[in-house]
Amino acid sequence: MSSVSVPNEAVLASAAQPVRTGTRGADAWTAVVRSSAFVNWGAWVSVAVLLAQQTYLVRIATGLPITWLAAFKTTIGGCLLWALFTPAIIRVSRRFRVDSFASVPTVLVHLLIGTVFCAVDAAANLAIAGALGQPRVSFVVGFLRLYPFNITCYLAVVAIVHAVDFARMYRERAVAEAELSAELSTARLRMLESQLRPHFLFNTLNTIAEQVHSNPQGADDMILRLAALLRASLHLTEGHEVPLRDELATVANYLAIVRARYEDRLRVSIDVAPEFGGILVPAMVLQPLVENALQHGVEPVDGVTHVSITAARRDDSLVLTVADDGAGLVNGVVADGVGLRNTRDRLQHLYGDAARLVLRPGDARGVVSEVTLPMDSHR
């Protein structure tokens, strides 16, 4: 009883697909061209052509002209022999690597091994001449006559192998260092952001705690706004940047919470053109600046303090400004807390020298905080 083999679906699918012989042929040719064997044989044939041209011109100049093909025949044999030697030389070169000026013994080893290859070349030329019935010279004469050229060929192959290997190692090391630097930078940025979240959270909870007994309804409203703030803080784990409109919404929630604490002593204005709303800015970049204005500008003053938030374009940069007309700097000195210090570090990690945070005295009184961000990377 015979059995019938039914092709499976994969076989049928592959059989139904057209065979693109042209593409396969091109891919195969590309693989051949890129192979080390093709490069090896091609390089030595090129050397044979150059040597044949030199021999041809020298013979013409000395009055003993020969055809170019005859000159090529005198050079191609030796070059093809060295093409056979090259894979072994490559292995020897990588086995005895010259990687510093202290590698003098290794250089001597290469001279010794190169001399062995020269001897093999001389013996092979002697055997080939005998097989073809050509005039032969003694082994010693043939060895010494071709030794300068042959040892140069050996050392040239060793030098090329070293150059290729060192270039590859340099590229791999550069890539590894770049990846390590990026990983360290990301880890540092995550650490800064993880510090910032509890910092603003604890300050906000303290504000709510002050209102729980005196203003329960207000405390309840602040808790709802705190929930919105916590949702906004999740941007720090999802990404480092948010649209400016979202950042302003986060600040508005924060101000709504702290407004109950300062009551009529605080006036806030936000003047940001709608065209800037889609520009990406670091998440929670404004909150530490506003908190600094409240702590050092509003709290020490009994009267009304005005805090303004603006955005403006300056050349190719976006300038975010938080200004107050409160108490101002103590003795003109800026004391960086956790929020301001982390903001500076985050700006450095994200944008390098293209971004900066500057605090300066206001024109009349108070403090002006300015964050400068590159606009071209946020479109």
Longest dimension (CA), the chain: 117
Residue 227, phi then psi, degrees to nearest 5: -60, -40
Give the chain's count of helices (H) and strands (E).
11, 7
Identify whether the C-beta of residue 186 lies closer than 8 Å to the C-beta of residue 350.
Answer: no
Among 54-68, 96-110, 165-179, 324-338, whose mean pLDDT is lowest?
324-338
**pLDDT tens per residue across span 310-367:** 999 998 899 999 999 988 876 666 666 667 888 888 888 888 889 999 998 888 888 9
Look over the chain and give the mean of its residue pLDDT values, rounded to a whole number.
79
For the question of whether the overall pTM of this predicted structure is more than 0.85, the answer is: no
Residue 7 pLDDT more than 60? no
With 80 as the cut, is the pLDDT of residue 72 above it?
yes
pLDDT tens per residue, range 13-42: 343 344 444 455 556 555 544 567 888 888
Q: What gap in Å lies between CA 112 and CA 164, rounded to an integer? A: 23
Given a cut of 80, is residue 188 above it in pLDDT? no
Q: Which two tokens stand for residue 290?
A: 């506003």
In this model, does residue 82 exceed pLDDT 70? yes
End-to-end CA distance of the chain: 74
Using only the alpha carbons of the chain, give its radius of gyration: 39
Question: What is the β-pairing status of strands 305-314 and 266-271?
Answer: parallel
Comparing 139-153, 179-193, 219-233, 264-278, the range with the smallest average pLDDT is 179-193
Name the pairing type of β-strands 356-361 and 317-324: unpaired
Q: What is the pLDDT of residue 20?
A: 47
Tell me what pLDDT residue 184 has: 55
**Residue 220: per-residue pLDDT:** 81
pLDDT tens digits, 192-224: 554 555 656 676 777 778 778 877 887 788 788
Specify the DSSP element, H or E, that contains 353: none
Instruction: Give the pLDDT confidence score for residue 11 in this predicted structure.
Output: 34
CA separation, residue 218 to residues 132, 162, 178, 214, 253 (Å): 108, 75, 51, 9, 13
* CA gap 191, 270 in Å, rounded: 30
Alpha carbon separation from 344 to 30, 36, 349, 355, 368 (Å, rounded): 52, 52, 9, 9, 16
